[in-house]
Amino acid sequence: MPDQPGRTLSLARGLPRLIQGGMGVAISNWRLARAVSQAGGLGVVSGTALDRVLACRLQEGDADGHVRRILARFPDQALAQRVVQRWFVPSGIATPGAYRQVPLIDHRPAGDSLELLVAAGFAEVALAKDGHTGPVGINLLEKIQVANPAILYGALLAGVDAVLVGAGIPREFPALIAQLCAHEPGHLTLRVEGGQPGENVRVDFAPRELLGGARLPTLARPPFLAIISSDVLAQSLLRSTDGQVDGFIVEGAIAGGHNAPPRGGGHLSDIGEPIYGPRDLPDLGRLRQLDRPFWLAGGYGTADGLARASAAGAHGIQVGTLFSLCRESGMEESLRLRVLGLAANDEAHVFTDPLASPTGFPFKTVAVPGTASDRSVDAERIRICNIGLLRQAYRRPDGDIGWRCPAEPEAAFLAKGGAAKDLTGRKCLCNALMATAGFALAAPGGGREPALVTAGNCLAAAGLGLHHDLGAGDLVAALLSGSPLAGASATGNPSAHHRHGFAAQTGPA
């Protein structure tokens, strides 16, 4: 196994023991990441759909002025001004949801799109880092290949302290990060369904072409953490990236958001959830041997979470669900309060939906009346693909590259050669997650797009001490010190927490 001791390893070991989940879209926004970072954790902003979030904030009038204030620090002021001119609406859009749409992007994004992506990556990280010295990371979904290089570059320009990538196998990221830190061109290889073996379609990004003559800062390479669910993937990543993975976040099947599918196939439980078993637990002994720090995620937001993880040889924990419901969370406020209410009354039901996500990966949903978890709400929704982040590239019969998503209008998907069976149960996560963060677009059938809440199984355990007054700082202090969270037994229902966690494997490192 290639091993690059010294600087590489110590970089990630210097990161805090508590990492706040990178939660998209805009659940972990700059405010949450900043608060966590100031309190002693690694605050993480979500990179998902940041361009659209920035465009919405500017169209809402940027009332507190933060976006324009921070873009005034962007190294290329002409670029920053173009972005503001294109999207800023001084008095805010008159009708809620009537945002001007950000154009969909493919593997050759137009200059305007790239400018918005870079500015958005920069602004979110720079705001999260503003006015303190705590570390801030960015979380990217590997699957969103076309947007990632430009958002990542913006984040690097803002001095991001860690890059976390999951939802795919991020083999090309270490090289991309190194190239972009040197302001050199970088690329990702586009996955094309139905492509010829050996064909190589790239998503290229050339910083100097975009930023022209601007004076560019010297950038230090931040540590790269791969989000994985198996030790086998960790080993394979180290081999295929010459060891340039600085650490791992090991996510269990009870974590919020997307989950890795269970090994061994598509069997579902009586209530229609994927069935996970012992084979889905990573071998922590093997992980310990890889000589990289790792953080355990999925049900560790408890008073004893850090101690359990440390006993298993982990450097720390990553916690998402708790932070997604704290005061600084980017979740739309009335929705956040409703979810907290459900949790407090033991009525928060979390379902691991095997179909909802266009990616085909299981996705956890919380049953909240009036949101897309509600079958009748989803059935009434008129499909539209106007954000398009989860579209998959495919080779068209005429040789060109096309883009399709099983949550787009059925006829369009079928006309592009998509399989009818893939349409079943799919939800438009792009629109739903924008809505959850308070940026619901106008829906084609009238009204606004419905939201969809995701959370880990620990939410249903209802013993987390969730209380709407908890701030991120309170959570960080409690989790780091192992104290019960205010107002409740912090460990909750152990069987629910640990069912698919790693607790059974704990033992001295």
Ligand X SMILES: Cc1cc2nc3c(=O)[nH]c(=O)nc-3n(C[C@H](O)[C@H](O)[C@H](O)COP(=O)(O)O)c2cc1C
The three state secondary structure string of 251-282 is ECCCCCCECCCCCCCCCECCCCCECCCHHHCC
- Spacing of C-alpha 330 from chain mean position: 13
Contact indicator for 297, 249 with CB cutoff of 8 Å: yes
Residues that bind ligand X in the complex, under the rule CB under 6 A: 21-24, 27, 46, 48, 139, 141, 166-167, 227, 251, 254-257, 297-299, 301, 318-321, 324, 454-456, 458
Nearer Cβ to ligand X (166/247): 166
Nearer Cβ to ligand X (59/302): 302
Nearer Cβ to ligand X (8/324): 324
Nearer Cβ to ligand X (200/489): 489
Residue-by-residue DSSP string for 132-152: S---EEEEEETT-TTTHHHHH
| Shortest spacing between CB 167 and ligand X, in angstroms | 6
The residue type of 241 is: T
Cα separation of 452 and 428, whole Å?
10
* Residue that is written with structure tokens 């795919």 in the block: 168
| Shortest spacing between CB 252 and ligand X, in angstroms | 8
| Shortest spacing between CB 506 and ligand X, in angstroms | 17
| Shortest spacing between CB 245 and ligand X, in angstroms | 15
Nearer Cβ to ligand X (152/458): 458
Name the helix (H) or strand (E) containing 324.
helix 321-324
Compute CA distances 392 → 89, 105, 256, 359, 425, whole Å: 33, 12, 23, 9, 18
Which residue(s) pair with 318 in the sheet? 19, 297
Nearer Cβ to ligand X (318/506): 318
* C-beta nearest to ligand X: residue: 320
| Shortest spacing between CB 305 and ligand X, in angstroms | 9
Cα separation of 318 and 255, whole Å?
10
Nearer Cβ to ligand X (112/304): 304
Cα separation of 412 and 6, whole Å?
53
| Shortest spacing between CB 84 and ligand X, in angstroms | 27
| Shortest spacing between CB 368 and ligand X, in angstroms | 12
